A and B are shown apart, each in its own frame.
Chain A
Amino acid sequence: MRAPIQSSPVPFSYLALALAILLFPGCGKTGQATASSPAKKILNVGNGAEPQDLDPQVTTGVTEHHLLMALFEGLVAEHPSGEGIAPGVAESWETSADQLTWTFHLRAKARWSNGDPVTAHDFIRSYQRILTPVFAAEYSYQLYVVEGAEAFNKGTLTDFAKTGFSALDDHTLVLHLVQPVPYLLYALRHTSWFPVHLPTIEKFGPPDRKGSAWTRAGNLVGNGPFILTKWLPNQAITVERSPTYWNAAEVKLDTIIFHPVEDNNTEERMFRSGQLDVTETIPTDKIDAYRRERPELLRLDPFYGTYYYNLNLTRPPLDDVRVRRALALALDREAIVKTILRAGQEPAYHFTPPYAGYTPGEKLTGGLAEARRLLAEAGYPEGKGMRRLEILYNTSEAHKAVAEAVQQMWRTGLGVEVALRNEEWKVYLDSKDNLAYDVCRAGWIGDFPDPHGFLEVFMTGGGNNDTGYANPGYDRLLKSALGLPDQSARMDIYRQLDTMLTRDVPEIPLYFYKRVHLISPRVKNWVPNIIDNRGWQYIDLDPVIASGDLKGKD
């Protein structure tokens, strides 16, 4: 390889062109790729971290989710508007009167990327795979809403034919549910419900073993709008338009290159130099500058999640609801959002984020004066006599800044001494799980746009509860919600539950998340999506604008 190390200011575009021709045609950055073949639409996306794997039944992260949405398609797909759902592999569906039986009619045109038709049997075999106990899929519980799924996954049921999954014929899939699941269609967009191509998987090893080579570039067979063509670990993953996708004619992009950029400062610099069209996020200190100087590049979309602090109810003085409430009231959320987070996040005074069709419950009200009064009532006037509390957070600049602000607010507002404890991710999770903390930073992001998932967190003994909160009344009420035939009645119950959380304060809500991107004006149809799912098939790219336009501010 030649090394054109420049010592004089060669105009960048010539250089890019020269390099493109000399070195790697068709790989790397936008400017260069468009220079070599102007007709091709190549989208460069910052995608956070290196994906664990590209097996939809193995992965658990957001990074992988974004990629898998390009490579596979479930029964239903994203809606072009970003809200709601559109038909995917299933053309249509109906549900029984008791809402327990769902029948999906698969489209005849659906194809795998090797040309095989996508059939109902593919789905059945996929679901059997993810539920096989020895396969040990971390997200298998997503399917537990179907009869027998849980028993099969836990090994108490061995005959998969006895579960609620069945295929009437090649194009008809039936699911029998344990209980009504009003949000089922939304849940189906999760990767754990995606089909996989078992003949391919079997070529590379036993299907119930993870980590065979079937997900490598060249091996992977999917049914999504794109196919995997190149996977350079920690560098880039390239997917190209799939000719066999049922809706291929509507797919706009030729190629998407996903860049696993973990450092958000690096990512922002790559965006500015034109190497990325869309970023995963943006460093908070740069938000104001973009807002001021290049607002058209900045995207701040609502994101279905809550940032909150868990309180350990098993440790005094946090077992006293007055203390908890005092702590919750003493925070100036507006200041935190405005000074530290800056992306226009919404201050949270209750737990469940508001979203179409759901009005949240009672808010925390009272302010600092009420907080002081409550604390004095609990026996700690001006914080006197209260032991020092400790805030646990996982290592990250943003969490640190929030924790520092909270520490200061409790100290000056309530006279409560607070220490900070930062732990790296895995240790933090361990401490959180084992309730080895006083106050602990947490966040919940909905898998589907429905309050149910949020409120489930605080079920007694729930795996994500992590506060010691146990309220039988809460559990009963939550269980009763799913069976309700009427949406508004169901939402009413959620409102009551949300109010319970506001009153019992097992956690302190701080703010509702925002998704923050930098996005080139060339990118079209990039719609806000509350759970950050991407319908890659709809996204388009304008022909190249003069490259100077992309450089951003200098």
Chain B
Amino acid sequence: MKATAPTAPPAAAERPTSPGRDAWLRLRRNRLAVASGVFVVLLGVICVLAPPFLGHGYADQDLSLGATPPAATHWFGTDELGRDLLARLLYGGRISLMVGFVASLVALIIGVTYGAVAGYAGGKLDAFLMRVVDILYALPFTIFVILMMVFLKQPMDQLDTWLRQFDFLKNLQGIGKIVGLFAAIGAVEWLTMARIVRGQVLTVKKMEYIEAARTLGFGHTRIIFKHIVPNLLGPVIVFTTLTIPSVMMLESFLSFLGLGVDAPLSSWGTLIKDGADKMENFPWLLVFPGGVFAATLLALNLLGDGLRDALDVRAAKD
């Protein structure tokens, strides 16, 4: 829901919880968004907690079984190697959600820091930093992610070997690749965030109460954290929510190219790619991963849109 004066400054900067509460009230009225949020959280919890209780691992094969449709023993059926699809889906959910959230977090951290510094510093530094962003904007991104995944292959394998010396990571095959995914995708997605944050900082910086705070002799740190950061939260939250689904989609695209996570680990992207190839003869291989993936993306998008309306953020993404 949009306020009539779109850029009206939060009137009650002394009580920073109040606009938040307002937004929360507005969000709550958007039932679709709330339901979406609940769905994503629930799904995340299931992916993290449920797998040990399934009785099937993601790599346990039964070649004599082959691909079987859903049944009592395997709720979502099995793939051609006789592996339980539900187990693979939930483990894959861990990977996909992790890639989605962590890569977005990487983008968030780089973007917010970069944008805030540029916006707050202003002047020549700002101009320079933003020019760099402009330059990076001219890179063909899909292509650069592909190039990076191809080129990072070896370092990622080395990282994988190194990481798996540690006991708690020993069984996580392809962890290096996942870290590579974070880096490649995060590196691509932070630009828009930086622009948004900078714009917001510039607007807020000129507000009278900031001027007032400055004349009162408050330090930079206090001004940044007490007054500017709370004003950034809205756009940042909205944009992050909308980044997660696009990151997950990018991951599935990389899986299509064979640049996704390593076997026998699966992500939703690799499962869907596999299912799309086999949908005519083994439709369940596509229906379940595809359904869950689409529902998650839809939920995240609806949540993002809901938040945008509630927090009254304009054109956060586009």
Contacts and interface: CB of A to CB of B under 8 A. Distances in A.
Interface residues of A, number: 29
A285 interface: yes
Contacts of B259: 395, 424
A404 interface: yes
Interface string B38-78: 00000000000000000000011101101100000000000
A365 interface: no
Interface stretch (A124-132, A201-209, A332-340, A487-495): A332-340
B63 A335 contact: yes
B167 interface: no
Interface stretch (A91-99, A371-379, A414-422, A542-550): A414-422
A289 interface: yes
A200 interface: no
Contact of A289 (B66, B277, B281): B281
A223 to B, nearest CB: 40
A420 B80 contact: no
Contacts of B61: 404-405, 408
A424 B81 contact: no
Nearest to A402: B81
Contact of A403 (B66, B80, B263, B277): B263
B277 A265 contact: yes
Contacts of A420: 173, 262-264
Interface string A46-76: 0000000000000000000000000000000
Contacts of B274: 397
Given A420-B173, A422-B258, A405 B63 contact: yes
Given A286-B281, A339-B80, A401-B81, A332 B63 contact: yes
A288 B278 CA distance: 12
A529 interface: no
A339 B263 contact: no
A400 B263 contact: yes
Chain A binding surface SS class: helix
A423 interface: yes
The winner among B67, B274, B277 for most chain A CB atoms within 10 A is B277
B14 interface: no
Nearest to B274: A397
Interface string A182-219: 00000000000000000000000000000000000000
Given A289-B281, A424-B150, A335 B262 contact: no
A168 interface: no
B253 interface: no
B157 interface: yes
B17 interface: no
B66 A339 contact: yes
Given A285-B282, A289-B281, A397-B274, A421 B63 contact: no
B153 A339 contact: no
B258 A421 contact: no
Contacts of A421: 157, 262
B18 interface: no
A335 B263 CA distance: 19
A340 B258 contact: no
Contacts of B81: 339-340, 401, 404-405, 408
B280 interface: yes
B80 A401 contact: yes
B154 interface: yes
Nearest to A264: B277
A401 B63 CA distance: 11
A243 interface: no
Nearest to A400: B263
Contact of A422 (B64, B262, B282): B262
A424 B80 contact: no
Nearest to A290: B281
A325 B258 CA distance: 32
Interface in A359-398: 395-397
A422 B80 contact: no
Nearest to B261: A422
Given A401-B80, A422-B263, A339 B63 contact: yes
B80 A340 contact: yes
B264 A283 contact: no
Interface in B273-306: 274, 277-278, 280-282
A32 interface: no
B162 to A, nearest CB: 13
A85 to B, nearest CB: 39
Contacts of A244: none
Nearest to A338: B63
A335 B281 contact: no
Contacts of A397: 274, 277
B281 A288 contact: yes
A357 B82 CA distance: 40
Nearest to B149: A424
A422 B282 CA distance: 25
A427 interface: yes
Contacts of A407: 59, 264
Interface string B103-131: 00000000000000000000000000000
Contacts of B150: 424
Contacts of B277: 265, 283, 285, 397
B153 A419 contact: no
Interface in A278-297: 283, 285-286, 288-289
A272 B82 CA distance: 28
Nearest to A283: B277
18 contacts: A285-B277, A285-B282, A286-B281, A335-B63, A338-B63, A339-B82, A401-B81, A404-B81, A405-B63, A407-B264, A420-B173, A420-B262, A421-B157, A422-B258, A422-B262, A422-B263, A423-B153, A424-B259
Given A335-B63, A339-B66, 17 more contacts: A265-B277, A285-B80, A285-B282, A286-B281, A335-B64, A339-B80, A340-B81, A395-B259, A404-B81, A405-B61, A405-B81, A408-B59, A420-B173, A421-B262, A422-B262, A422-B263, A427-B153
Interface of A: 265, 283, 285-286, 288-289, 332, 335-336, 338-340, 395-397, 400-401, 403-405, 407-408, 419-424, 427
Q: Which 3 A-B pairs have the closest CB atoms?
A: A395-B258, A285-B278, A335-B63
Interface of B: 59-61, 63-64, 66-67, 80-82, 150, 153-154, 157, 173, 258-259, 262-264, 274, 277-278, 280-282
